[in-house]
Structure 1
């Protein structure tokens, strides 16, 4: 698995010591304590071990055990677990940079990372133990590194805990790391990151190479990482929707699964019953000439055809969603501004975005599914946080409906994982339309009106499920009644005292899988 399934000790140290003492007492009573040991205790395994401590500040700790070459004099661990108060981050790579042993409620994970010294044991294994809050963390090791920020030092991943998918070609950007997941403590709560947790029922993650006349590195071919969800059925009646993701600068197509754990975020949402299965395609914009437009051409001419020929996915734009962060967020803006019709759902994260022209605004108003913009609220890289929020406000003022979702944090995966989680659970492939037919007739001599209103609720995207829940009906501000949605239809019959005085509108309230929608007004007076 790309995210380690760590050895997890759930017995607090005090309980373990008590148990060992009781065992020793029983051994003495039985007359067996003095007997020579049959064999020495097995050596602790290499790699990370997560232990529930029930101790502050986080309730969990992680011990890392690593073997380095004999000639290495000092090993340091290098992890993305340094923290700051949000108000103490005035610039990129600024902040308190407190280690996790000094974690405080309300902290955000900030840059820069720092190296921390490991200790060499009598067995020759280097060891480091630290408390960690809940979440997914990346780490690596350095050998004889003297720079506190590991600048100029070679980074080594954990051979006992490597990523499942490695860079697909020589020279692929982005250093390989290892990843560890830490659960949340109920006694010392830190972050709500259960949506990132490893799952028992997991689909298939694979690296795929396809023909690409546009690619210069590797020449003539390019790479993607594809995740098919648990239970993927290539023969099911309805094709799957597809989520296309872009990494940022300095990374490649492995980033969204190996670092962003996108497939785990998806499976947790599916198992929570709030998302239907979909296929994830993580792309690589390196080695594609033409900048953002070159990347769009690669999607249209090479990636879409390959994915749609090799996987049971829909070819309709309404069944495609796109999301990208940083440099990938810049590509997201190019797509939603100028190539809106390629996707039904658009998401730009941690990217300022240029101002939209009127023509671009008009195109975004016609998006079939929806638009999301989000950032880390302390992202100072090029004033991203400020520019992202300003651009979202300008688009809303121009009449573009969008979902803006921002979280505390800087330019890190600790921001992009929750942004993806929100996109899946709140927007992607959840949009509905509501149609309305109204029949009105006199009801008696007192000018009452008998009204029969039929609302038809449909998913914009291909879906196995059918929208459920209920529809509320109004005439202006007057509530007329509600009706449950069955097989996509809700019908209400009522008598309106004094007759209708305004057009009728149907409001679908949504359910766990689908968002609400509203019909156009129908004047049946």
Structure 2
């Protein structure tokens, strides 16, 4: 069945664009709310000397057995119901509407943000697989199938999400990258996507026309996201590229997040 999209005028002045959130991003009654538990990780093997908080958001009602999971970088920001992402609220609403399965949200704060998120290797992905998800599994059982595991982030957290799935497609089969900071990662992903075997991953990328360096030759966040999206499309990946009119902030990404999760689990 097709979709008819209501007319919306194209913003002419992109310096003042703010998107309104949809109903899935607000607390709805009588949607049952999930249970959020805060934990901390110290003494990390992958990142010695770091300490971080993480929050596990279990769905209000779930079948027994391992559940799908989505890992959010910059966890506190994604969890905040008064910020742009409101991810726990979104998960509760989508689960209650039965448009995604009961999903466990894992919100992980960084210990050393850029050192962890901008690295092109598998260290951060391995940390999530070997140190974070086992701790989560002690609270609520989570699936170990990559098609049941998504990873999501904004800015450097978005590029970290893509890197994790690229390096560990055996662990993460779904990716949401919002305004991802690919220019800060020492990996030529368009070239790698074009030359390496296709990974079994599903990817949604969002970027705004006025993201960082939008009119620069180098370190251009807009161009880097578009180039990666084009490379994925050319190789036949299951990919969706969403382009807005905003800057390097979480507004448009937060508005897109409910439909991004719908698309991942369609």
Q: Classify the TM-score, shorter chain.
A: 0.7 to 0.9
Among 76, 99, 105, the residue aligned to 1:280:
105
Contact 2:69 2:150 in 1 (8 A): yes
Normalised by the size of structure 1, how large is the TM-score? Answer: 0.41
Among 226, 241, 252, the residue aligned to 1:415:
252
Consecutive unaligned residues in structure 2, runs of 5 or more: 1-9, 183-187, 214-218
Matches within 5 A, 1:139-150: none
Q: Work out the CA distance in 2 between the residues paired with 1:197 and 1:359.
A: 37
Q: Does 1:242 align with 2:69?
A: yes
Q: Does 1:225 align with 2:52?
A: no
Contact 1:346 1:372 in 2 (8 A): yes
Among 178, 199, 205, the residue aligned to 1:366:
199
Contact 2:166 2:199 in 1 (8 A): no
Question: Aligned to 2:138, what secondary structure does the other structure show?
Answer: helix
1:384 matched residue in structure 2: 221
1:202 matched residue in structure 2: 33
Among 63, 69, 78, the residue aligned to 1:256:
78
Contact 2:72 2:78 in 1 (8 A): yes
Change in 2 beyond 3 A, CA 1:230/1:199: farther
Return the offset for 1:197: 0.9
Contact 1:324 1:347 in 2 (8 A): yes
Q: Work out the CA distance in 2 between the residues paired with 1:278 and 1:359.
A: 29
Question: Aligned to 1:276, what secondary structure does the other structure show?
Answer: coil
Q: Does 1:300 align with 2:225?
A: no
Q: Work out the CA distance in 1 between the residues paired with 2:172 and 2:112.
A: 23
Among 13, 25, 38, the residue aligned to 1:88:
13
Change in 2 beyond 3 A, CA 1:370/1:336: same
Among 42, 49, 52, the residue aligned to 1:216:
49
Question: Aligned to 2:158, what secondary structure does the other structure show?
Answer: helix
Consecutive unaligned residues in structure 1, runs of 5 or more: 1-84, 90-94, 97-107, 110-134, 136-190, 248-252, 431-514, 516-525
Largest Rg, 1 or 2: 1
> Whose helix fraction is larger, Structure 1's or Structure 2's?
2
Q: Work out the CA distance in 2 between the residues paired with 1:317 and 1:192.
A: 30
Contact 2:165 2:173 in 1 (8 A): no
Contact 2:50 2:111 in 1 (8 A): yes
Question: Aligned to 1:395, what secondary structure does the other structure show?
Answer: helix
Return the offset for 1:358: 4.5
Over aligned residue pairs, what C-alpha RMSD do you find? 2.6
Q: Does 1:426 align with 2:263?
A: yes
Contact 1:338 1:360 in 2 (8 A): no
Q: Work out the CA distance in 1 between the residues paired with 2:195 and 2:39.
A: 36
Normalised by the size of structure 2, how large is the TM-score? Answer: 0.77
Return the offset for 1:192: 5.3
Report how many aligned residue pairs link the two structures. 236
Among 96, 104, 108, the residue aligned to 1:271:
96
> Whose strand fraction is larger, Structure 1's or Structure 2's?
1
Q: Does 1:339 align with 2:171?
A: no
Deviation per residue, 1:220-275 (Å, 9 max, x gap): xx32111111224xxx433210001112xxxxx31111132101111222233312
Question: Aligned to 2:106, what secondary structure does the other structure show?
Answer: strand
Change in 2 beyond 3 A, CA 1:366/1:86: same
Matches within 5 A, 1:413-492: 413-427=250-264, 430=265
Q: Work out the CA distance in 2 between the residues paired with 1:405 and 1:388.
A: 10
